[in-house]
């Protein structure tokens, strides 16, 4: 579903690359091949995307709480962005150049949600200021500012999927490595890929254990490239020092098995290892880390260090 409001879009050119701008006026609440593009770009272009917070902007003070939420219209994702030349079987590489947050963020405790959903039964709202690279949680508690994009995905090949859930197409993975300086690799399932992003946080812990990061409006700048001649089954992430496979499933164990299997297959393909040897290598130096573990479909990732490969390893 696409918002009925028209998107603010525009384009300019800098250092040989087209820079496109898209506002949060057009959002989707489902990743769907039927979504109409808010923006069309070419491989190699840069996109500056405005994203509203995951609550849709309705939490403005600590007097507001979860009763204000309509769970059918949360996790708005700006877009989708149609990347010309992207075809099923390709890979879309999105390098995150920067993320700028608003001056504040909000986080809710929702009874019945999160890992302690049967124990924490009171509504709670935290609204925190963001100043000088810090989040002022309380007068005596300051958190580092670590902005990330919680929902980041493409349209799936089959039926639509709510932006609340992760899947092979990415979307609500809530992985804190979807952040500045890193490249997110997504499989392309439909022409143009139809990338959409939102549900950003000023900070989040692995697992989003209480069901929320500090939700904040952001402006994200991305460079998009279509990679031909290689396919991946699910998202991968590359940081300065690591690369990761991402899996989803009904349970953490199921999601982790998917991510481990993908990493074993990746190492076998890239380094010529047998599957038992690749499995052994993952066991020795691979780290299992949770993403979103609080919705009906959860996400996990497996991270491997780049430094162990004497001749390097290219992603994807």
pLDDT tens digit string along 189-234?
Answer: 999 999 999 999 999 999 999 999 999 999 999 999 999 999 999 9
Predicted pLDDT of residue 12: 65
pLDDT of residue 5: 35
% of the chain at pLDDT higher than 90: 91
- Determine the length of the chain: 316
Identify the CATH assignment for 236-308 out of 3.10.20.90, 3.40.50.1110, 3.10.28.20, 2.30.140.10: 3.10.28.20
Give the mean pLDDT of 167-172.
Answer: 98
The CATH number given to 9-167+178-227 is 2.60.120.580
**Considering only CA atoms, which of 189, 222, 198, 188 is closest in space to residue 92?**
188
> Pairing relation of β-strands 183-187 and 242-249?
unpaired
What is the band of 297 on the pLDDT scale with cuts at 50, 70, 90?
A: very high
Residue 15 CB-density burial (10 A; 0-12 exposed, 13-18 middle, 19+ buried)? exposed
Look up tokens 């490595």; give the residue.
177
Q: Is the pLDDT of residue 14 over 70?
A: no
Predicted local confidence at residue 307, as pLDDT = 98
Q: Which residue in 60, 66, 22, 65 sits closest to 194, CA to CA?
A: 22
E strands of 90-156, at which residues?
91-101, 104-109, 124-131, 134-138, 141-144, 148-153
Among residues of the chain, what percentage have pLDDT more than 70?
Answer: 95
- The rounded Cα 269 to chain-centroid distance in angstroms is 26
Would you state the pLDDT for residue 253?
98
Position 73 scores a pLDDT of: 86
Would you tell me how many other CB atoms lie within 10 Å of the CB of residue 284? 8
What does the longest C-alpha to C-alpha distance in the chain come to? Answer: 58
In DSSP terms, which residues pair with 158 in a beta bridge? Answer: none
pLDDT of residue 4 exceeding 50, the answer is no
Fold: same for 9-167+178-227 and 236-308: no
Q: Which residues on adjacent β-strands are paired with residue 200? A: 149
Q: Which two tokens stand for residue 4?
A: 């009925």
pLDDT score recorded for residue 7: 42
The residues spanned by each domain of the chain are 9-167+178-227, 236-308
Phi-psi region of 242 (alpha: psi -120 to 50; beta: other; left: phi over 0): beta
Whole-number Cα distances in Å, 47 to 22, 77, 135: 7, 14, 27
pLDDT of residue 70: 87
Q: What is residue 258's predicted lDDT score, i.e. its pLDDT?
A: 98
Is the model's pLDDT at 85 over the cut of 80?
A: yes
pLDDT per position as a tens digit, 239-275: 999 999 999 999 999 999 999 999 999 999 999 999 9
For residues 93-112, average pLDDT: 96
- Greater confidence (118 vs 278) lies with 278
Tokens standing for 43? Answer: 């491989």
Nearest to 316 by CA among 249, 255, 262: 262
Q: Is the dihedral of CA 91, 293, 203, 67 positive or negative?
A: positive
């Amino acid at each position: 579903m696409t918002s009925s409001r028209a998107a603010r879009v525009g384009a300019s050119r800098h250092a040989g690359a087209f820079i496109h701008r898209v506002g949060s006026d057009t959002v989707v609440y489902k990743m769907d091949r039927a979504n109409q593009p808010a923006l069309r770009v070419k491989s190699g272009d840069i996109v500056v995307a405005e994203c509203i917070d995951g609550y849709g902007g309705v939490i403005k003070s600590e007097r507001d709480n979860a009763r204000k939420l309509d769970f059918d219209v949360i996790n708005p994702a700006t877009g989708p962005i149609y990347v010309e030349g992207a075809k099923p079987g390709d890979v879309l590489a999105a390098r995150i150049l920067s993320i700028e947050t608003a001056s504040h963020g909000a986080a809710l405790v929702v009874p019945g949600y999160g890992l302690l959903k049967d124990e924490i039964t009171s509504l709670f709202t935290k609204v925190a200021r963001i100043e000088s690279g810090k989040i002022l949680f309380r007068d005596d508690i300051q958190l580092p500012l670590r902005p990330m994009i919680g929902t980041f995905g493409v349209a799936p090949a089959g039926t639509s999927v709510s932006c609340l859930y992760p899947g092979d197409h990415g979307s609500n993975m809530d992985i804190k490595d979807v952040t500045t300086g890193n490249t997110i690799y997504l499989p392309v399932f439909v022409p143009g890929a139809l990338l959409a992003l939102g549900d950003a946080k000023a900070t989040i812990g692995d697992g989003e254990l209480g069901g929320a990061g500090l939700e904040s409006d952001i402006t994200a700048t991305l460079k998009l490239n279509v990679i031909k001649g290689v396919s991946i089954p699910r998202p991968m992430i590359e940081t300065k020092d690591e690369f990761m496979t991402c899996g989803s499933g009904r349970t953490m164990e199921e999601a982790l098995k998917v991510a481990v299997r993908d990493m074993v297959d990746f190492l076998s393909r890239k380094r010529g290892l047998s599957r038992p040897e690749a499995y052994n290598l993952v066991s020795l130096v691979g780290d299992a880390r949770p993403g979103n573990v609080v919705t009906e479909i959860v996400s996990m990732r497996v991270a491997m260090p780049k430094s162990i490969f004497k001749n390097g390893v290219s992603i994807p």
